Amino acid sequence: MRDILKVHKGKGQAGKDAKSGVLGRVMHHVTRYEVQGQQSLHAHILLWVHPDDVDRVSSEIVACAPAKYVGRAGATNEHDPNCPTGRECWEPPAGDPHALALFEHVMTKQCHVCTPVNGPGCRKTGPCRYAFPWKPHPSSTPVVDTATRRYVYYRPSWAHRNISPYHPTVALLWGAHINLQRVTSSDWSFYVLKYAMKVSSGHASAPMRSGPSPWPAAVMPWAVMLADM
């Protein structure tokens, strides 16, 4: 994890001695590991990014499939809120192995599937707790959605409505599901307290800590929040 994020504490208020990585100059971070019901591990990470890097990194976060939408026979309008979004609806990129690898990653790791209403999962009480499906946001500049108090990221059409936010470079390096978002200045403290105090259902959890992950990077999904300082 440290190799991917280049986590170094900056010296002084300007952080001139902090080294920049994919996600900019990470001044500090905390991590909390959880064990899910099927005993799989995942991490919750909060990064304090240098103020001069936050906007740049945030603009690189996207919530879209890196491919051309072709749809199905009779349903090819990606601006229709009910357009099909299955894997067969996308034309995989050709000629660039990295672009193809990212497409495969998004199709297999980043597509959210809502569970049935009133059953276990994201729609236990009705609407999706993660606010899927998300409406289009055709700009690369994230803005705060007042209803959810979350930033929304580049999502050019309704065809991308169920894709979790990710950073392309980090996604390729990590190789597992990632939910990378910028957290507002009013909510980052809630995020820290929530996962510092949360108890996993029937399983032990490691406390929040600073430092590198002891778990293999390729097998652990994670959620990352960039603190808006």
**pLDDT, position 143:** 93
Q: Does residue 90 surpass a pLDDT of 50?
A: yes
Give the strand pairing for 26-35 and 41-49.
antiparallel
Q: Could you give the percent of the chain with pLDDT greater than 90? A: 45
Dig out the tokens for 69 from the structure.
């939408």
How high is the pLDDT of residue 147?
87
* 3 state DSSP class of 27: strand
Kindly tell me if the per-residue pLDDT of 112 is higher than 90. yes
In angstroms, the CA 6 to CA 192 distance is 21
Question: With helix as H, strand as E and coil as C, how does 169-201 read?
Answer: HHHHHHCCCEEEEEECCCCHHHHHHHHHHCCCC
Residue 205 has pLDDT above 90, yes or no: no
Q: How sure is the predictor about 213, in pLDDT bands with cuts at 50, 70 and 90? A: very low
Q: Where are the beta strands (DSSP E) in 89-154?
A: 90-91, 143-145, 150-152
Alpha-carbon gap, residue 137 to 62, rounded angstroms = 10
pLDDT for res 48: 84
pLDDT above 70 coverage of the chain, percent: 73
pLDDT for residue 223: 57
Give the residue-averaged pLDDT of 73-98.
95
What is the C-alpha separation between 35 and 74, in angstroms, rounded?
Answer: 43
Average pLDDT, stretch 23-29? Answer: 86
- Quote the CA–CA distance of 225 and 18 in Å, as a whole number: 19
CA 147 to chain centroid: 19
Place of tokens 């660039």: 96
Average pLDDT, the chain: 80
pLDDT at 109: 94
pLDDT band at 85 (very low <50, low <70, confident <90, very high): very high
Residue carrying structure tokens 């236990």: 124
Distance CA 21, CA 10 (A): 13
More confident residue, 227 or 229: 227
Rounded-to-integer distance, Cα 159 and Cα 134, Å: 10
Please tell me whether the overall predicted TM-score, pTM, comes out greater than 0.85 for this model.
Answer: no
Model confidence at 95: pLDDT above 50: yes
Residue 153, judged by CB atoms within 10 A of its CB (0-12, 13-18, 19+), counts as: buried
pLDDT digits 0-9 by tens, 4-19:
454 444 444 444 556 7
Give the tokens for residue 194.
């929530």
Residue 218 is predicted with a pLDDT of 35
What integer pLDDT is reported at residue 7 of this predicted model?
A: 46
Domain parsing of the chain, residue ranges: 1-61+166-229, 66-139+152-163
